[in-house]
Structure formats: C-alpha cells, structure tokens
C-alpha cells in the first residue's frame, strides 16, 4: 500500500501528539516530520518533500498562511490542509489565496480529519461543514454596490485594507486579521496612499468614507 507522506505544523504539543497518534493508526498515512513554527515547516517541506502538510495558522515567526504561500511557490506539488481554530471567512479566503487545498477545524471529528487528509492527498478541495456553511452564506449575500466601483486603480487586497483603515483599524490589527506580516501591510498602505494621492492615514480615511467605504459590516 502506497502511503501519503505527511508533515504536521503546529506549535501546541498536546494537539500535535494527539494528531500524530490518530495518524499513526492509519496504515495508508505516514508522518515523516513535525514542525512547531512557520520557519521550521518551510525548511522541512523543502528537505522532506511530503505529499501533504497539516498546517496550523497561528505559529511563532512566520504564520501558517505565509508559510503556505512560500511552500506552494517553491514546491507547488505539495498539498496543504489548514487545521486551525479560526473559522472566519477572511482567514479561509486568505488561506485559499495562499494556495491551501483544504480548511478544517481542530475540533473536527477524527473520521472527518482522516477523510480531509485523504481527499487533499487525492488533489481535492475540502472544508469542514461549518466552514462550508460560512462560504455558502458569504456567496449568497449580495455584494456591496460600492465594492469595485470606487478606486479602480486599487487591487482587491488594497481595497480590502483601505476598508479596514477606514473602519479605524491600525496596521497591527490589519496584519493580524488578514494573516499578513506587519511589513507587508505597511507596503500595501504605502501603495494605497500613493494611488489615492494622499499624504497620510487621515486623508485616506476621509477619501474612503466619502466613497462609501468604512462602514461596519452588518
């Protein structure tokens, strides 16, 4: 029987040990390594070239989404399943844009975890039932009329960050919400200021709110 070679990336030893115990009992799955940080999983992925990585989002150093982006860039054949407690749509979409193939929650039933790993190993995309409901609700909701009509020079990501700026979020909060590094957010903010031809955050907020951005979602 050909086994799926797995890497586990999670900084919580209790969860990591429990997950490994589950996987060790599955004859078609083989854990070839464990990592406790984003930097470590990037290195292990390059060295061990697993079939699937089970990736937590919040880890020391490079977070799991940025690690996913880097691994998929250098080793696009490696498939990544996000295993996390974050179930908001922003985290899900950010992970998918980074190249993840699936997204499940840590409190999923054991059989659901195994099913998700095998599905991702076959090249399928899979989500926890709760995550799937979030996505269905999101796509069923009407899009804001101003979403793409204002500031057409901005990219989707820049418009998303401008929306958060207009809502009063500082760069560290934006970085945490979008699972980006603080430096990356700073670069986006600088690009936004340049494209809007504003000198500072206050002017950007005024421009955004005049255009209808910055209202809290209901």
Q: What is the CA radius of gyration of the chain?
A: 19
Tell me which DSSP letter residue 216 carries.
P
* Class of residue 123 by CB neighbours under 10 A (exposed 0-12, middle 13-18, buried 19+): exposed
Looking at residue 218, its pLDDT comes to 38
Look up the CATH architecture of domain 4-139.
Answer: 3-Layer(aba) Sandwich (3.40)
* Digit-coded pLDDT (tens) for 53-102: 999 999 998 999 999 999 999 999 999 999 999 887 778 888 888 899 99
Q: Could you give the residue range(s) of every CATH 3.40.50.2300 domain in the chain?
A: 4-139
For the ranges 69-78, 114-123, 134-143, 158-167, which has the lowest average pLDDT? 134-143
Looking at residue 48, its pLDDT comes to 97
Looking at residue 215, its pLDDT comes to 61
What is the value of pTM for the model shown?
0.68
Q: Could you give the residue range(s) of every CATH 1.10.10.10 domain in the chain?
A: 156-210
Return the higher-pLDDT residue of 20 and 216: 20
* Token pair 């950010």 in the structure block, residue: 94
Q: Determine the CATH number of domain 156-210.
A: 1.10.10.10
The Cα–Cα gap between 145 and 94 comes to: 22
Mean per-residue pLDDT, 124-132: 86
């Amino acid at each position: 029987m050909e086994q799926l070679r797995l890497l586990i990336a999670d900084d919580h030893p209790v969860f990591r040990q429990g997950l490994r115990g589950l996987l060790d009992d599955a004859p078609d799955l083989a854990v070839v390594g464990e990592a406790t940080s984003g930097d470590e999983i990037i290195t292990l992925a390059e060295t061990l070239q697993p079939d699937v990585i089970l990736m937590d989002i919040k880890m020391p150093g490079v977070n799991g989404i940025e690690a996913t982006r880097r691994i998929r860039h250098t080793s696009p054949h490696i498939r990544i399943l996000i295993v996390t407690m974050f179930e908001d749509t922003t985290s899900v979409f950010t992970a998918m844009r980074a190249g993840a193939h699936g997204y499940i929650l840590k409190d999923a039933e054991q059989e659901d975890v195994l099913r998700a790993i095998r599905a991702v190993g076959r090249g399928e995309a899979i989500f926890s039932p709760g995550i799937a409901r979030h996505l269905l609700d999101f796509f069923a909701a009407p899009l804001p009329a101003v979403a793409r009509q204002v500031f057409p020079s901005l990219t989707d990501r820049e418009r998303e960050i401008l929306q958060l700026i207009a809502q009063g979020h500082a760069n560290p909060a934006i970085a945490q919400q979008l699972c980006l590094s603080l430096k990356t957010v700073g670069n986006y903010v600088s690009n936004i200021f340049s494209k809007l031809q504003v000198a500072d955050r206050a002017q950007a907020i005024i421009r955004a709110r005049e255009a209808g951005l910055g209202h809290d979602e209901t």
